């Protein structure tokens, strides 16, 4: 290959790589924990946000609630409608449900209502602040982490929101992760198969081992 065309090829390749890298480094922040659409059985929640270069983020954790209208009788006898919020019962949510909630659409492309495993559609959620916003700046030129362990976490549906802020504290990107926290399971699958051997075989094994030790 002649020199000028080789150089031309190299420039093109570098340009292509740069374009690809630019697409790759779209988001400066990513949520490592909790994994999006995951289910946790714990009373604590690990929040871990990875920043790929120097950036400032605002991390907030919300507990999702659903509202229901209730009729409240005021002192003067008039009846008012009030919205009362209560925590979402996450005990029956599956990973698919979480994916549907995270997608943010109530109906699919054909207009049909998306149903959760409970049989109902996706309700409107109210964001109740569980851990107030914290700002974190990654000072180093490389990767930085914001980590926090939240304790006293009751079962429910939680949303971690990470907003990347620019110099004027305006939000440039938002990354969200949904996680369902459930009660600790009582029954757990056994990890190890039981090794059962007849006692005679075991005796022979031990005998042989002793002889050849």
Partner 1 sequence: MGVNRKTETIKNVVIVVLFLSAILLLYLLWQPRLSLKVSGLLELRPSQKEAPRAEELIKPLYAALSRGDGSFTIDTKDSAAMLALAEEEMRAYFEQGSPQLQEISAEQFAQAMGEWESVQLELSGGLPLSDFCLHFCGRSPGGDTEDIRLDILAFSSASSESFFVCDRSRGCFRVLFAEERESVASLSALAKEPDCSGYSASEILGGEGRALIFLGLASGLSEVPFDNEIEQKGAGVRDRMAETLFGSTFDFVRRITDSYGNVTYMYGYGQKTFYASVAGSYEYNTEAGEGAVTDLFTDLDSAVLFLADLGGLDNVSGSGLALSGYEESGSGRAKQRTFVFSQTLGGVRIEGESGPAASVTLTGGQVTAATRNMVYPARDPSGGRPVNTAEAANVVASNANHIYNILNNDTLTIASDEAFDGAVRAAVTLVPGYFASPKDSSLIPCWTLTTENGTRFFFDLYSALPLGFSRRED
User: Which residues of the shown chain bind partner 1 in the complex (CB under 8 A)?
Assistant: 32-33, 40-44, 46, 48, 50, 52-53, 140, 142-145, 147, 149, 184, 188, 190-192, 195, 197, 206, 209, 212-213
Tell the smallest beta-carbon distance from residue 186 to partner 1 (Å): 11
* Region class of 185: left (phi > 0), else alpha (psi between -120 and 50), else beta: beta
Tell the smallest beta-carbon distance from residue 160 to partner 1 (Å): 14
Nearer to partner 1, 78 or 194 (CB): 194
Task: Please check whether residue 36 is in contact with residue 178, taking contact to mean a CB–CB distance below 8 angstroms.
Answer: yes
Nearer to partner 1, 58 or 148 (CB): 148
- Three-class DSSP category at 143: coil
Tell the smallest beta-carbon distance from residue 197 to partner 1 (Å): 8
Task: Please check whether residue 47 is in contact with residue 33, taking contact to mean a CB–CB distance below 8 angstroms.
Answer: yes
Whole-number CA gyration radius for the chain: 27
Residues 177, 105: Cα–Cα separation, whole Å:
16
- The alpha-helical segments, DSSP class H, found in 56-198 are 95-103
Nearer to partner 1, 82 or 135 (CB): 135
Nearer to partner 1, 51 or 157 (CB): 51
């Amino acid at each position: 290959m002649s020199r000028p065309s080789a150089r031309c090829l190299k420039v093109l390749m570098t340009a292509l790589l740069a374009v690809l890298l630019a697409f790759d480094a779209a988001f400066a922040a990513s949520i490592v924990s909790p994994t999006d659409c995951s289910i946790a059985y714990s009373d604590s929640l690990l929040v871990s946000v990875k920043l790929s270069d120097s950036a400032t983020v605002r991390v907030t954790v919300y507990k999702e609630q659903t509202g229901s209208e209730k009729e409240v009788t005021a002192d003067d006898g008039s009846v008012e409608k009030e919205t009362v919020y209560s925590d979402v019962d996450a005990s029956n949510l599956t990973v698919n449900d979480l994916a549907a909630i995270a997608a943010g659409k109530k109906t699919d492309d054909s207009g049909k209502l998306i149903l959760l495993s409970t049989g109902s559609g996706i309700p409107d959620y109210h964001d109740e602040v569980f851990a107030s916003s914290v700002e974190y700046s990654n000072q180093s030129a490389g990767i930085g982490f914001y980590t926090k362990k939240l304790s006293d976490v009751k079962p429910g549906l939680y949303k971690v929101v990470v907003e990347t802020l620019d110099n004027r504290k305006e939000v440039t990107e938002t990354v969200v992760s949904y996680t369902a926290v459930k009660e600790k399971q009582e029954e757990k699958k056994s990890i190890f198969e039981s090794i059962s051997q007849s006692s005679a075989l075991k005796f022979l094994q031990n005998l042989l081992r002793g002889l050849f030790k």
